[in-house]
Amino acid sequence: MENNRGSWSSRFGFLMAAVGSAVGLGNLWKFPYLAGENGGGAFVLVYIGLVVLLGFTLMLAEMTIGRHANSDAYGSYNKIKKGWGFVGGIGILSGFLILSYYSVVGGWVMKYIVASFTGTGTDKAAFFGNFISSPVEPLVYHLIFMGLTAIIVIRGISGGIEKASKFLMPALFALLLVTVIRSVTLDGAMEGIKYFVTPNFSEITLKVVIAALGQVFFSLSLGMGIMVTYGSYLRKDEDMEKDAFIIPSLDSLVAILAGFAILPAVFALGFKPGEGPGLMFITLPAVFENMPLGSIFGALFFVLVFFAALSSSISLMEVTVAFGIDKLKWSRKTSVIIFTTLMFIIGIGASLSMGEWSDFLIPWIDGKSYGIFDFLDVLTSYYLLPLGGLLGALFIGFVWGVPNAVKEIKIGSKFVTEKLWSILIKFVVPILVFLILLSTTGLLDKLLGL
Ligand code: PHE
């Protein structure tokens, strides 16, 4: 692996692969419903604030670690400082758990490609609810989605997905714009637009901040070593400072467009914004139904969501698979087959927890109990990814040393934000993430309450 690691064929190819990993269900499915559940504009404002403070900083940090060490997530940390590979290890575990339920949602998207033609009936919420809670059909789609991810990862990523992303990402963008225009011009859309763009400061609660932080990590693919891995394939003259600005900006732009595609329609069509995970699946079919050639647009749209999900899921799987290859010395094929099987099985639990197994709840340290699907989401987005990010920042600040990281960045970049970045990575990111993590666990409340 050391001798033959390869590198990105072009800067554009790298950017598209990184954007392909970042832009996915997190932007199109999760962001709008989280905004809907957490006060609309209040959530959007906190989210953007955290992207500016943490997103850019950690994106650059992870890429720098990878390019310097030139190895996978586990190996890169370990190479720079022996004994720190566990930070990459936490990321690998996160990727494994995320993909288990991500694939279930990927399956829902595939179902909706089909349903664009076969129809979703008059009661969209009931259609969605019945589908995800049924015992067999979602599992079939989950299996197909997992299988497709496996096939691509077995073949290696470069040719297919890099090429495909270059075409698909711009296409997704164009169709998203069409959907936004349709949604914001519906009768009654204004209320939704207002809800989405007006931050009501009294609604900025701890819950909103926690949700936004988890979403920043999830949506930017941070805290789990993907950007370390992708950074390891970068050339030394790459301007990482610019990349770390472009990737989060594009990712946030897509998330915000998704909000404009979905939330105005929610209000116009008389749904509630706090609908949860069903938001995209319930509103968009209704939006498309109101359009000329709606079923074609609808199908196309969900096809692109599907590709966005797939380009993210392969990056998730690649992190785990690379660990099987590098550390456990398995062949790529063995590694893919074993991990796919395990993820598929955990995903069965996630899917069934939407119906048959909804009574099976897992108690958690925050005092709440979660079904399997929610548990995987909460554990990864709100705990493991922020923890990975926190440790990554501490690693640079206090183990590897900011000056060493700066030296690496400066090889290919002017690094005009050097001073700011140095302070952010050493102090602001660790303190902020630590405090939010602490309150996520409920410990902060207890400490303050004492
Ligand atoms: N960022 C991806 C999305 O928004 C999901 C993802 C999370 C991918 C973590 C890789 C790592 O859908």
Kindly report, residue by residue over 99-111, the tens digit of the pLDDT: 999 999 999 999 9
Instruction: Please give the distance, rounded to the nearest whole angstrom, from the Cα atom of residue 187 to the centre of ligand 1.
Output: 34
Confidence of residue 58 (pLDDT cuts 50, 70, 90): very high
Q: Ligand 1: does its nearest atom lie under 6 Å from the Cβ of 15?
A: no
- Ligand 1, atom 11, lies closest to the CA of 221
Residue 227 phi/psi, 5-degree rounding, is: -70, -25
Q: Cβ neighbours of residue 438 under 8 Å, at least 6 residues apart?
A: 444, 447
Q: Ligand 1: does its nearest atom lie under 6 Å from the Cβ of 221?
A: yes
Check pLDDT > 70 for residue 25. Answer: yes
Confidence of residue 288 (pLDDT cuts 50, 70, 90): confident
Q: Which residue has the higher pLDDT, 86 or 14?
A: 86
Average pLDDT over every residue of 216-222: 96
Confidence of residue 72 (pLDDT cuts 50, 70, 90): confident
Rounded CA gap, 244 and 251, in Å?
11
Rounded CA gap, 299 and 293, in Å?
10
Q: Ligand 1: does its nearest atom lie under 6 Å from the Cβ of 219?
A: yes
Beta bridge partners of 370: 362
Taking the domains of the chain in order of start, what are their residue ranges?
A: 11-448
Check pLDDT > 70 for residue 160. Answer: no
CB neighbours (10 Å) of residue 114?
Answer: 11
Q: What is the mean pLDDT of the chain?
A: 91
What's the pLDDT at 146? 97
Instruction: Please give the distance, rounded to the nearest whole angstrom, from the Cα atom of residue 21 to the centre of ligand 1.
Output: 6
Instruction: Please give the distance, rounded to the nearest whole angstrom, from the Cα atom of residue 82 to the centre of ligand 1.
Output: 28
Q: What is the pTM of this model?
A: 0.93
Q: Running DSSP on this structure, what letter comes out for residue 5?
A: -
- Please state whether 156 falls in left (phi above 0), alpha (psi between -120 and 50) or beta: left
Helix (H, G, I), strand (E, B) or coil at 3: coil
Rounded CA gap, 164 and 311, in Å?
9
Instruction: Please give the distance, rounded to the nearest whole angstrom, from the Cα atom of residue 226 to the centre of ligand 1.
Output: 9
What's the pLDDT at 6? 61
Instruction: Please give the distance, rounded to the nearest whole angstrom, from the Cα atom of residue 191 to the centre of ligand 1.
Output: 30
Q: Ligand 1: does its nearest atom lie under 6 Å from the Cβ of 92?
A: no
Alpha-helix runs per DSSP H in 40-162: 41-50, 56-69, 73-80, 85-118, 124-133, 137-154
Query: Under a CB-based contact definition with an 8 Å cutoff, are residues 344 and 313 in contact?
Result: no
Rounded CA gap, 214 and 224, in Å?
13
Q: Which atom of ligand 1 is nearest to the CA of 29?
A: 12
Query: Under a CB-based contact definition with an 8 Å cutoff, are residues 346 and 376 in contact?
Result: yes
Confidence of residue 3 (pLDDT cuts 50, 70, 90): very low
Q: Which among 25, 109, 218 is the best mutation to test ligand 1's pocket, defined by most ligand atoms within 8 Å of the CB?
A: 218
Q: Tens digit of pLDDT for each residue in 297-317?
A: 889 899 989 989 998 998 899
Q: Tens digit of pLDDT for each residue in 314-331?
A: 889 988 888 888 888 899
Burial status of residue 90 (CB atoms within 10 A of its CB: 0-12, 13-18, 19 or more): buried
In the chain, the percentage of residues whose pLDDT exceeds 90 is 71
Largest CA distance in the chain: 61
What DSSP line would sit under 121-154, residue for residue? -S-HHHHHHHHHHSSSHHHHHHHHHHHHHHHHHH
Q: Tens digit of pLDDT for each residue in 430-442?
A: 999 999 898 888 8
Q: Ligand 1: does its nearest atom lie under 6 Å from the Cβ of 316?
A: yes
What's the pLDDT at 123? 93
Confidence of residue 230 (pLDDT cuts 50, 70, 90): confident
Instruction: Please give the distance, rounded to the nearest whole angstrom, from the Cα atom of residue 24 to the centre of ligand 1.
Output: 6
Confidence of residue 1 (pLDDT cuts 50, 70, 90): very low
Yes or no: domain 11-448 corresponds to CATH 1.20.1740.10: yes
What's the pLDDT at 233? 84
Take residue 12 and report the two structure tokens written for it: 């554009």
Confidence of residue 410 (pLDDT cuts 50, 70, 90): very high
Confidence of residue 2 (pLDDT cuts 50, 70, 90): very low
Rounded CA gap, 38 and 200, in Å?
11
Residue 362 phi/psi, 5-degree rounding, is: -105, 120
Q: Ligand 1: does its nearest atom lie under 6 Å from the Cβ of 413?
A: no
Check pLDDT > 50 for residue 179. Answer: yes
